Structure 1
Amino acid sequence: MAELSRLYKAYELFDKANGQDPNKEVFQGNLYPKEVLYAHRMTQKLLEFEPGASEALRLAARCQHICRWEIPRETYSMDRVGYLKWRQDLKKFHADKASSILKAVGYDQATIEKVVFLLEKKQLKKNEDTQTLEDVICLVFLEYYFEPFVVKHSEEKLIDILQKTWRKMSGKGHEAALKIGFSESSLKLVQKALNS
């Protein structure tokens, strides 16, 4: 029971940090700080996708984007090099933020190192927990964030995004993705991306 209460204490502190997000999102008539809503979606999706997820994986899913707004994409060059540098810097930033919270609630170094390993996406396709986290990230993106992309990008760009997302996922992730209730237009794009 002590372990469970520590997990929920960590969730509470992650949510408190993310609660400072100045960016807001409306969902089902309620206004949320964007990263709080994202973190809750990650936890919910992980529990649906992998109910027996390890404690480290549950922690990593909850703090995947912790305080992301503090490092805006616009502060890097708007090309592939800038994007990759931003992503690398974010991984370290999220890992550092999460580590300090996990230490504060009494997690041991071994657990903290496991969470950092997952946040840094190490051994993708080789490590089961890293792959599960990536699958959940992709599923949350496809279910909640892909539709807004559709109105902003060309079909060519959307198909490229879908194909890149698909490549990161496992077979189990693909099965779950195909059960998402996409709009008719998005489903057509998904099918086109998979058949290209």
Structure 2
Amino acid sequence: MKPTRFEIAIALIDKKNSEDPNTYQSHGLNFPKELLYSQRMSQKLLQFKPDASRALQIAARAQHICRWKIARDEYPMDRVGYLKWRETLKKMHAEMTSDILKDVGYDAEFMERVSFLINKKLIKKNEESQTIEDVICLVFLDYYFEEFAAKHDDEKLIDILKKTWVKMSDEGHAEALKIKYSDKSSALVKRAIS
């Protein structure tokens, strides 16, 4: 059976992300960092919203496409620099994804929808934008929080957890509370949301 344009688009996003020179270890294996992240985004999205639209599935998979190409240290190491870096990245992710979608035959309307979601526009107002924000937070909490927590003090972690919680929907909160945390992280989450 011939692959669909959706399947080809996902494969092309994966191909780009497999070029990541940065690796991340999971289960004793090294993976290209953004490839693993994108696959976790897809997996978490489908656990959270099994009926997610094709546009949402592509936006989740391409959330960090080729993220390593624009380094954080190319911008001032302050809050303003961080936000500018994030905006530049979102623009790049949306453009690269649009190029892939165009190549596989998607129309302009579909490409705009995916770009809208990659840019996380109208969070709290648009259901799919909110879903992508929830999934980003859930992936962070499930796969990256423990490691992150080992490098920072409790006060900073509680602050980050509070900020993460505010971005999420009630449905996202319910899902986040199902994650198996270490005892220490579980206590931090409880403190942050109390």
TM-score computed with the length of structure 2 as normaliser: 0.97
Cα deviation, 1:34-71, whole Å, max 9, x if unaligned, reads: 00000000000000000010110000000000000001
Task: Give distance in 2, aligned partners of 1:7 and 1:99.
Answer: 13
The equivalent residue for 2:35 is 36
Amino acid at match of 1:161: I
Task: Provide the C-alpha distance between the structure 2 equivalents of 1:83 and 1:160, rounded to a whole number of angstroms.
Answer: 17
Q: Hey, what's the Cα distance between the residues in 2 that align with 1:163 and 1:41? A: 23
Question: Separation in 1 of the partners of 2:74 and 2:151?
Answer: 21
**Which stretch of the first structure deviates more once superposed, 87-96 or 25-34?**
25-34
Q: In 2, Cα distance between the equivalents of 1:88 and 1:44?
A: 25
Between the aligned partners of 2:158 and 2:24, the Cα distance in structure 1 is 26
Counterpart in 1 of 2:136?
137
User: Structure 1 residue 13 and structure 2 residue 25: aligned?
Assistant: no
Other-structure match for 1:65: 64
Question: Which position in structure 2 is the counterpart of 1:167?
Answer: 166
Give the number of aligned pairs: 194
Q: Structure 2: which amino acid aligns with 1:59? A: I
2:73 is paired with a residue whose SS is helix
- Residue aligning to 2:180: 181
C-alpha distance in structure 2 between counterparts of 1:17 and 1:187, whole Å: 35
The answer for unaligned runs of 5 or more in structure 2 is none
1:83-122 counterparts in 2 under 5 A? 83-122=82-121
One-letter amino acid matched to 2:17: N
**Counterparts of 2:28 and 2:12, CA distance in 1:** 25
- Partners in 1 of 2:85 and 2:153 — Cα distance? 23
* Gaps in structure 1 of 5+ consecutive residues: none
Q: Detail structure 1 runs of 4+ shifted over 6 Å in the superposition.
A: none
Question: How many Å apart are 1:156 and its aligned residue?
Answer: 1.1
For 1:135, give the aligned amino acid: D
Shift of 1:151: 1.4
Q: Which residue of 1 aligns with 2:45?
A: 46
User: 1:190 offset after TM fit, Å?
Assistant: 0.4
C-alpha separation between the residues in 1 aligned to 2:18 and 2:80? 30
Secondary structure of the equivalent of 2:4? helix
Q: Partners of 1:88 and 1:31 in 2: how far apart?
A: 29
| Identical columns (%) | 59
- AA at the equivalent of 1:102: L
Deviation at 1:30, TM superposition (A): 2.0
What displacement does 1:152 show? 1.2
d(CA) in 2 for partners of 1:30 and 1:6? 30
CA–CA distance in structure 2, aligned partners of residues 27 and 155 of structure 1: 25
